[in-house]
Structure formats: structure tokens, C-alpha cells
Amino acid sequence: MATIKPFKGLTYNRKKVLNIQSVMAPPYDVISSKMQSHFYELNPYNIIRLILGKETKKDNGKNNKYTRARKFLDSWLKNDVVLVDKKPCIYIYQQIYLFKNKKKTRTGFISLMKIEDPKKSGILPHEYTLSKPKKDRFKLIKSVGANLSPIFSLYDDKKSVISKILKKEKSQTSALIDINFEGVNHKLWKIADPKIINSIKAQIKKKKIFIADGHHRYEVSLMYKKYLAKKKKSGTSSDYVMMYFTNLRESSNVAIFATHRLLKKSSNKNINDILSLLKGSFNATLYNSSEALIKQLSKKINRPSYGVYMGKNKFYLISLKKHLSTQKIISGNKSSQWKRLDVAVLHNYVLKDLLSLKDAENNIKYVREPEHAVRLINDGEYAIAFFLNPTRAKQVRDVAEKKDMMPQKSTYFYPKLLTGLTINKF
């Protein structure tokens, strides 16, 4: 299903960059303005200057964060700050991290993958995208002519054939990069042997590819491919995109955090009205702390269940009543797999139908930490919080295979891929 190939990646020159950790950064879409300034100050060669450049009041069509990103990359290439690998490679990428206080190791590989239209191929996204981030990333890719960070994807391999190949290869040589970044150990190796590369290519070609993280960048890569085709410049390496692949069958490879929802307003209803509406469809239990609520919520994975907080230290656990079928309460032509998603029931039944919030998507703040959500409610900045269980990897696969799309922020894969390990220059 997937056509991949090795590439001559750009990597930082260790003779010019003595502290390799100081030039790395997380993906652009998780970087706050405060974090952006921090990475700018860390090192003049930090990748932040390419993926999320600073804007100024003097910016115009000829001088802006996109044109400056191109100038930075051109300068780094000219001055050997980054070097082009001599041979086309596939890069083994390993992350060692803690998840629920347990040590986990996720291993995968980075290569180029031929860009295909998801509607006509086995490349399967699972989340809707927004136009604003796509416009931003399209301007950047047009300016720099490069993939600056890999898209995160999953494949399904019961026998872990590729994983065994990667394990053998990395055991035979030392890692080129071995750094700790924000609590995660990141390691990178190169595979240049054509026989090993061809083995991986043959195995991955049989697999469906599920995009886990980087939906906007994948769509932008497809847009860029079509853009170049119109200019009769297709057939180049820009027909491919830099992709990270890992096996969803291995539990260490897929850690997903929940993303909770806060609403600025809860229509014109008061707390008692909202509780009454919810209790019509959900069984409700009261708890006196967010910790107790989240602990009990984690046990409710077989029925759509949520934590609800509207202040005054009253935390409610609500679970859809057994006589209510998600097939019946959610209308439309979506698959049964999609309709069983907690996040789908929340957005399409609870928010839209029960609470009559037709503009819910413009009324939502997304947070990962329950304590953060509670604080914002107590401070009066938001009216109601809904806590969710994480979407499971099997649900991502099942929904994607049905060509359905989840609401925004349905998954938060952890740990994030580090940006700066390698770059694909067209």
C-alpha cells in the first residue's frame, strides 16, 4: 500500500554544532510563544528558525518568516552547519520514555513515502484538518522546498517483521544521535545497505498506513505536489514526503493521551438545567475531586463516559445509559466504529443535541491536564469542562479504515517526534 524510498537527509554537522540537543525542537504545533523564544535563545542554529520563525511588524511579501526560513537553511547548507548524507538512507528512530510510570521504548524508522490521495489509496488519515494551519505550512514548504519534520504514521504488522529488522540493525552499531530532550531519550541510526532497505520496502508495501500525527502537513504535501504538477515540475523528490513509521501492534509504540474540552459558554442554561439534561441520557455519580473522578473514568471504556465539572468542587462521572444505542442517538451515514467513539458522542450528541451548542467547535478550548481544566473553571474563564478517556489505537485504525474522520484533537500521541534529527530537501 505504501511506496517508500531512502533519501540523503540533511543532518547537523557535529563539528559545527557541539551540543546537538540545543538545535532540536518539538513539532511546530505544540510550541507556545514562550517556548519559541526559548528555542531561539538556545542556539543560533536551532531548527525553530525554520519551522516556526518569528514575525515582525516590518514583514512583507519579500521579507517574512517564510523567506527568512529559506535564507537560514541556504546559509546553513553553504556554511556546512547541516550536511547532506553521502548515501540514501533509512533512519532508525527510537524513543525511550515513561508512560504511567512505566518505562517504554518506541522504535520505528524514517524514510520518504510516495504521496497519494487518501481517497484513492491505503494512506488513511483519521482527523479533520483546519484551513489556517494548512495555509501556513503551504507557504513554508513553497519557500524552503523541504520537509522539515517527519509525519508520524502507524502500520499494522502482527508478526513485527520490520521491527525485527530494525532491532538487528541498531544492535550492530552505535547511535549517531543519543540525547535526552524534555524527559525523553531520542536515538537515531542510519541504514545505507540497499539489501536491508529493500527488505523494509517490500514489507511496508503490503501495509495500510494510518496517519497518527501531522495531518495538516500531509495534506499540504499533497497540495504542493499538485501545485508543482501544474507548473510542470512534478516527478521530483517532492512527490514524496518524509514519514516516520511504527508498528501499532506493539504497545510501547502507541501511547495516546486524552484531550479534554472546556466550553466558554454552556448555552443559556444554568448548572441544574445542564445536569438535568445530561441525566436524561446518562447515569451520573458525584465525586469530590478530579483525581477520584479521573480514576473512575479510566475504568469506563465500554460505554461513552465523561467527567463533567462546572465548579464548586462537584465532579460528575456520567455514562451513557445501557438502553441508548450510539447508532440511534447519532444520525448520519458514519460507520458504527465512528459512532462508538467517546469524542464523537460528545461532539455530536452531548454538545450539539443536548446542550444545543451549534457553534461548539468555535467555543472549545482543548487541554491535556485535568488540573489545568479545573483551574480555568474555578477562575471563571470557562463554564464547563468535559474530561475524556484517551482514544485507543485500535479505534484509530478502525475509524480510518472506514474512511471516517474524527473531530479535531481526538488523539494526542506521545511522545512527540523530535524536529531537527533530519531534513528532506527537494
> CA 395 → CA 164, 212, 294, distances in Å?
25, 12, 21
Q: What pLDDT does 266 receive?
A: 59
Q: Which residue has the cell 495538516?
A: 216
Q: What pLDDT does 340 receive?
A: 94
pLDDT at 46 over 80: yes
Nearest to 397 by CA among 247, 180, 174: 247
pLDDT at 112 over 60: yes
Give the separation between CA 179 and CA 181, rounded to whole angstroms.
6
Q: What pLDDT does 235 receive?
A: 62
Give the separation between CA 87 and CA 84, rounded to whole angstroms.
9
pLDDT at 348 over 70: yes
Q: pLDDT tens-digit profile of 242-288?
A: 999 999 999 889 999 999 999 986 556 678 888 999 999 999 999 99
Long-range contacts of 43-49 (CB under 8 A, 24+ apart): 43/17, 43/19, 45/12, 45/16, 45/17, 45/76, 45/81, 46/22, 46/420, 47/23, 47/148, 47/419, 47/420
* Cis, peptide link before residue 370, omega less than 30° from 0: no
Q: What pLDDT does 360 receive?
A: 56
* C-alpha gyration radius of the chain: 23
If one counts every other C-beta atom within 10 angstroms of the C-beta of residue 55, the result is: 10
Indicate the range of 135-149, 233-247, 362-376 predicted with least confidence.
Answer: 233-247
Cell of 329: 442517538
Phi, psi of 314 (to 5 degrees): -115, 110
Predicted model pTM: 0.91
Cell of 120: 484513492
Q: pLDDT tens-digit profile of 30-40?
A: 999 999 999 99
Q: What pLDDT does 265 receive?
A: 67
Q: pLDDT tens-digit profile of 300-341?
A: 999 999 999 999 999 999 999 999 999 989 988 899 999 999
> CA 23 → CA 111, 149, 273, distances in Å?
21, 13, 52
pLDDT at 359 over 80: no
